Amino acid sequence: MSAQILDGRACAKQIKAELTEAVATLAESGVVPGLGTVLVGEDPGSKWYVAGKHRDCAEVGIHSIRHDLPESVSQDELLAVIDELNNDDACTGYIVQLPLPDHIDTDTILEAIDPAKDADGLHPTNLGRLVLNVNSEITTPLPCTPRGVIELMNRNGIELNGKHVVVIGRGVTVGRSIGALLTRREHNATVTLTHTGTRNLDELLAQADVIVAAAGAARIVKPESVKPGAIVLDVGVSRETDPETGKSKIVGDVDPGVAEVASWVSPNPGGVGPMTRALLLKNVVDTAQRSAAN
């Protein structure tokens, strides 16, 4: 029996419908959430992703602010744009699209973002607050992709309490932050963090109730390494050249054969990706709601 599909597009559509209502309610009080983006250079993938964020804003009624900068922009010029957004009352939250050019120090740029306007939820201050907070409500932005992974399971009725989650990938976007979310008492999962250098990866995968594959290593999760009935979320993205067409195509971290072993699988694309974009909007709306309540 093939696995059931964790349909990120359908869940994201539900979230955006809820956000449309929330934005309309805020508008009645004279509050309009605003999402800003900062894009440096002409990377096609980054341009496509940023354009999608602005389409999402238009769909739910969020004001959008766009800064597209040339590849040659200096670090000081980029910091000036960051400062402008930090002080722009129309901007509730914003993101700096990564990667940045080599001549710009990414850490310096990200740390210059006002933590209250950190739409990605990856500012060191916000990650630190997440790590410190096990029990009480979190009132700062949460990392979008980990939040999207959890929301995708929750909305499909998957209970995480007591489950063993094996995460592959140690990047800050997913691997280093998702454990702090999953082990909060509200979710109560047990998390093992692995990566491409883990020697007994297959052994650990075979123990997992849930696998979150976010290594960016094509097909690293094989069917023979997955426990029957496990839940598998494919988050990693890499590219391969199709030998028949010669064109580049997106490849996930999960081998397609896993669908014959697992109980649930998220597709890639169409799984966690749409959820990440929807949860970015939710971070902005959540921040606007908290500000309106104060």
The catalytic residues are: 53, 97, 120
The reply, when asked if residue 30 is annotated as ligand binding, is no
b/e map of 179-199 (b: 16 or more CB within 10 Å)? Answer: bbbbebeebebebebbeeebe
The reply, when asked if residue 66 is annotated as ligand binding, is no
User: Residues 281, 62: contact at Cβ < 8 Å?
Assistant: yes
- Residues 6 or more apart whose Cβ sits within 8 Å of residue 135: 184, 185
The reply, when asked if residue 171 is annotated as ligand binding, is yes
Phi and psi angles of residue 35, each rounded to the nearest 5 degrees, phi first: -110, 125
* Helix segments in the chain, DSSP class H: 8-28, 44-60, 75-86, 106-112, 124-132, 144-154, 175-182, 201-205, 272-293
Whole-angstrom distance, CA of residue 264 vs CA of residue 232: 6
Whole-angstrom distance, CA of residue 173 vs CA of residue 120: 9
Q: Which residue do the tokens 């964020």 mark?
A: 53
Q: Which residues pair with 168 in a beta bridge?
A: 194, 213
State both tokens at 192.
């093992």
State both tokens at 25.
């309610």
User: Residues 95, 277: contact at Cβ < 8 Å?
Assistant: no
State both tokens at 181.
């979310």
The reply, when asked if residue 271 is annotated as ligand binding, is no
Q: Residue 66: helix, strand or coil by DSSP?
A: strand
Binding site residue list: 169-171, 237
Binding site residue list for NADP(+): 169-171, 237
